[in-house]
Structure 1
Amino acid sequence: MPNSANTAAITAYWDAAAARFDEEPDHGLRAPETRAAWADLLGSWLPAGPLDVLDVGCGTGSLSLLAAEAGHRVTGVDLSPQMVGHARAKLAAAGLTGRFLVGDAAAPPTGDQRFDVLLCRHLVWTLPSPGAELGEWIGRLRPGGTLVLVEGRWGESGASAAPYVPGAETLPWAGGVGADELAAAVRPLVTALRVEPLGGDAALWGRAVTDERYAVIATV
């Protein structure tokens, strides 16, 4: 997250957003076609399991739920206690188990545990030192592990119009990051990498989009 001084403001922002967070089609995955589209993507990205999956910045746990439904062992981390509460309730309602921790997704509070997959969606724009945090995440993976970053440049969302907390406009990737730049940052840290464009699939977002959306999938 941007810095320790802003932690309380960031937590408050996302706590306030939690109750309505799932109203966005790609957050709540409530529409069957949107849910199916994300489930298919996760199935193509995650090796056969069961695997230990770390979902950093898990929000309300929609992707964690899909991973758990696919038989994986899921740990989710989010700074917002309200988001974590929704994630726990979501998996419990589905009769599935998952571990959800309140903590900084940039430095997940998982101790020495290593994972087979680290999954992150729409979070890297909040990182104050992306190179350092990406290295931290990759260090949480076992040899041969998979890093999945779902990101974009949020031209339609207005993310760059006003900071979500004071000082956020100074973040290196405020408003999102392009695929070429993110891939360049990740490539020296991994053994293999590919980029998948996602903006052309309206089912993923619940509508047609025109800004840049993609996934970086890398192997450690």
Structure 2
Amino acid sequence: MALSVAVEMVVAMTDLTSAIAGYWDAAARAFDDEPDHGLRAEHTRAAWDRLLRAWAPSDPADVLDVGCGTGSLSVLLAAAGHRVTGVDLAPQMIEQARAKMAAAGLAGRFLIGDAAVPPTGGERFDMLLCRHLVWTLPGPHAALREWVARLRPHGRLVMVEGRWSESGPPYAVEGETLPWSGGICAADLVSAVRTLVTDLRVEPLSDDSDLWGGPVSDERYALVARI
């Protein structure tokens, strides 16, 4: 009986992972139409560049961008001189990220894989970045532990997250839910991360309309911490 239950759980998780990958693959073509995804407007791109330079080490560093999407933030980090590895579950996202990095004349590595368990082996990084990712994860607490383990001593964890005005996952498998569907408020994410990190701070981002291409009414913030 126990073996049967375990097999059913593995199958359900595989189905959910496939559903997530399929959703974001289908969304990849129009993904950059969102101002904060494509960063096509100069003022939006400049706003994100300013934040990333403030969060990242001043010297060239190894940066892991989990759930990198089409690679817009990865490109900014590479342009600032960092060695960037991007990971995303959706092959179409990774294809666009590689093309975007090449078009910018920059070097970067993009891997297809589960952002919750990045396929980077025993590599360690100076900074791990994720943006608007944890709400999509079936096991966000396990992902947080995994990410911290990928950082070098004194490494930086930077999470750009929020609690969205809408709720509910865009994909579902019968009987499965996403624990942080609809996003997570800053206080709850701090509680989830606090025991894993030091020097934790939260930077509110909702009021900076340049980041989002216009005003937003929901909670958006960055959690920045050291290991």
Residues 55, 158 of structure 2: 8 Å contact kept? yes
Determine whether 1:213 maps to 2:215: no
Equivalent residue for 1:108? 118
Percent identical: 67
Determine whether 1:171 maps to 2:178: yes
Structure 1, residues 131-183: CA drift from partner, whole Å, max 9, x if none?
Answer: 2110100000000000000000110xx3x1x4311149722110000000001
Matches within 5 A, 1:31-50: 31-50=41-60
Distance 2:81 2:47 in 1: 18
The DSSP-based 3-state class of the residue aligned with 1:91 is helix
Distance 1:181 1:167 in 2: 25
Given candidates 184, 187, 190, the residue that maps to 1:183 is 190
Equivalent residue for 2:78? 68
Given candidates 6, 13, 22, the residue that maps to 1:12 is 22
Distance 2:110 2:147 in 1: 17
The DSSP-based 3-state class of the residue aligned with 1:3 is helix
Equivalent residue for 2:202? 195
Equivalent residue for 2:61? 51
Distance 1:167 1:84 in 2: 24
The DSSP-based 3-state class of the residue aligned with 2:46 is helix
TM (norm. structure 2) is 0.92
Given candidates 111, 114, 133, the residue that maps to 2:143 is 133
Residues 75, 100 of structure 2: 8 Å contact kept? yes
The DSSP-based 3-state class of the residue aligned with 2:202 is strand
Determine whether 1:26 maps to 2:33: no
The number of residue pairs the alignment matches comes to 215
Structure 1 unmatched ranges of 5 or more: none
Structure 1, residues 165-207: CA drift from partner, whole Å, max 9, x if none?
Answer: 1149722110000000001111100121000000000000000
1:9 positional shift = 1.7
Distance 1:12 1:171 in 2: 16
Equivalent residue for 1:204? 211
Residues 22, 90 of structure 2: 8 Å contact kept? yes
* RMSD of aligned residue pairs (Cα, Å): 1.3
Equivalent residue for 2:6? none
Structure 2 unmatched ranges of 5 or more: 1-11
